[in-house]
Amino acid sequence: MSLAAIKPVVRRHAEIGILLIAVALVAFFSATSDGRWANAYNFATILQVTATLGLMTLGVALVIGTGEIDISVGSTFGMGALVYLWLASRIDPSAAALAAVAVGAAIGLLNGLLVTRTGTPSLIITLGTLMIFRGIAIALTEGFSFSIPYAARKGWSFEILGGGEFLGFNTALYWLILILVVLTVVLTAMPFGNRLLAVGGSAASAHSRGIRVGRIKLSAFVICGALAAFAGTLEAGKLGFADGSMGRLMELQAIASCVLGGCLLAGGRVSLIGALLGAFVLSSIQSYLVVVGVAPQWFLLFLGIIVVLAAYGDQSLRQWALKK
């Protein structure tokens, strides 16, 4: 197949760039880490991290799809984790998880209402709520952490909510797959998805066709908040404890994952599988830096450099594909 024949494929599938980057990085990491990176245990860990970051990323991708952005998800993740941990030792973990998801959805509703009713840019609104809910999380924990007693870390409902494993993988991974499938169907094969992408592509045109633009955006924010809190729940289930800083800076990773994965920040183009590949790449890079023994203080620097290079590579590929 000639290079020109690949162009339409790259144009149509925004996730091709991140797929190539993922393959290249996996090959490079495997070749340069002397088996410390490419082993079953490490993969399971990377996938667990990908699962929680990925769930948050899926929600952010939907909001980005409408042409808005939600940077409060890191705090929502933390709130979800704290609500779950606080309740899970008192009531059944499944009810605690529902409550955590409801809190996340409420935060999403607040974001969505503020954005759609006031017309204020979502970047500013969600920057505000990022700080508000981080502040609440820190105030609630008062510098300590919430945890589930070891004795209570059992039972099927605890295990399926990130607290256990199935076939060698943390149960969070299965939630991610389930939610990916559901959201992909919603986005590509249901009227809601058609309208969501239309709103992101041209809100004025969608409005002229009778689409309730505000409602679509509001729904995306609610789903995003709920997913971020659910991701926090699963992370809390795995760790069994959380403090007020849980999920800090994850919002940036989620947004980076979306962009790397081929979601257009201006809206209208979403690749959920691409966004997840983006999350996988970020988790893989972190894991690689750990196993090759890069000192933690250099983490962010290296991560940033690799993200910039990956984004540049993806952008170049896309520009090449768009050329006639």
Q: Footprint of other proteins on this chain (CB under 8 A)?
A: 185, 189-191, 194-195, 197-198, 200-202, 204-212, 268-269
**Neighbouring C-beta atoms of residue 138, cutoff 10 Å:** 15
Kindly state the smallest distance separating residue 187's Cβ from other proteins, in Å. Answer: 11
Q: What distance lies between CA 299 and its chain's CA centroid?
A: 20
**Neighbouring C-beta atoms of residue 93, cutoff 10 Å:** 29
| Distance in angstroms (rounded) separating the CA atoms of residues 146 and 2 | 57
Nearer of residues 189 and 249 to other proteins, judged by Cβ: 189
Nearer of residues 273 and 294 to other proteins, judged by Cβ: 273
| Distance in angstroms (rounded) separating the CA atoms of residues 116 and 172 | 32
CB 162 within 8 A of CB 238: yes
The values of phi and psi at residue 155, to 5°, are 95, 150
CB 287 within 8 A of CB 42: yes
Kindly state the smallest distance separating residue 269's Cβ from other proteins, in Å. Answer: 6
Kindly state the smallest distance separating residue 305's Cβ from other proteins, in Å. Answer: 32
CB 25 within 8 A of CB 283: no
Nearer of residues 128 and 201 to other proteins, judged by Cβ: 201
Nearer of residues 95 and 190 to other proteins, judged by Cβ: 190
The tokens 């076939």 sit on which residue? 167
CB 266 within 8 A of CB 278: no
Q: H or E segment at 172?
A: helix 171-189
Nearer of residues 9 and 24 to other proteins, judged by Cβ: 9
CB 198 within 8 A of CB 209: yes
Kindly state the smallest distance separating residue 111's Cβ from other proteins, in Å. Answer: 24
The tokens 């979403």 sit on which residue? 270
Kindly state the smallest distance separating residue 205's Cβ from other proteins, in Å. Answer: 5
Q: What are the C-alpha distances in Å from 277 to residues 16, 187, 284, 300, 320? A: 10, 18, 10, 20, 21
Kindly state the smallest distance separating residue 5's Cβ from other proteins, in Å. Answer: 17
Kindly state the smallest distance separating residue 268's Cβ from other proteins, in Å. Answer: 4
Kindly state the smallest distance separating residue 73's Cβ from other proteins, in Å. Answer: 24
DSSP line for 216-231: HHHHHHHHHHHHHHHH
CB 130 within 8 A of CB 251: yes
Nearer of residues 154 and 215 to other proteins, judged by Cβ: 215
Nearer of residues 195 and 238 to other proteins, judged by Cβ: 195
| Distance in angstroms (rounded) separating the CA atoms of residues 160 and 171 | 6
Nearer of residues 48 and 66 to other proteins, judged by Cβ: 66
**Cα torsion angle, 106, 112, 113, 118, sign:** positive
Kindly state the smallest distance separating residue 202's Cβ from other proteins, in Å. Answer: 5
Nearer of residues 210 and 296 to other proteins, judged by Cβ: 210
